[in-house]
Amino acid sequence: QVQLVESGGGSVQSGGNLRLSCAASGHTDSIYCMGWYRQVPGKEREGVAAIDPNGDTAYADSVKGRFTISRDDAKNTLTLQMNNLKPEDTAMYYCAADPGHLRPLYYVRSVRFAYAGQGTQVTVSQ
């Protein structure tokens, strides 16, 4: 099993920045791809970004150029730097991981991860 714990959410004004972090524990050696997805109540999950151990990344079109995903496998951490936030970025953000050796774009599109954290709320006001 893998446990994922997010931190760094909060409330900001439009145009502001936030940095989300995720700490992984447990059988972390089984993790291949890691990523972030978000969800608004009443709506489907939306893949935000994903990264594999080689550093290859994929992003949702809605966040390209504004968000940056990174990982530190030595520390078992995942980070999402979110810049120029917009009200439509408001959602619960979840850290996720999967042992499958698939490309990051697959995970952004499918949002099919074996493990996910409890989520951290991001609220962007006008």
Give me the residue label for tokens 């619960």: 92
Give me the residue label for tokens 């080689």: 54
The pLDDT of residue 4: 98
User: For the segment 95-108, what is each residue's pLDDT rounded down to a tens digit?
Assistant: 999 999 999 999 99
The pLDDT of residue 73: 95
Between strands 10-13 and 120-125, the pairing is: parallel
Contact in structure between 123 and 8 (CB atoms under 8 Å): no
Between strands 57-59 and 2-7, the pairing is: unpaired
User: For the segment 32-68, what is each residue's pLDDT rounded down to a tens digit?
Assistant: 999 999 999 999 999 999 999 999 999 999 999 999 9
Give me the residue label for tokens 């502001």: 16
Contact in structure between 91 and 85 (CB atoms under 8 Å): no
Mean pLDDT (whole number) for 18-30: 96
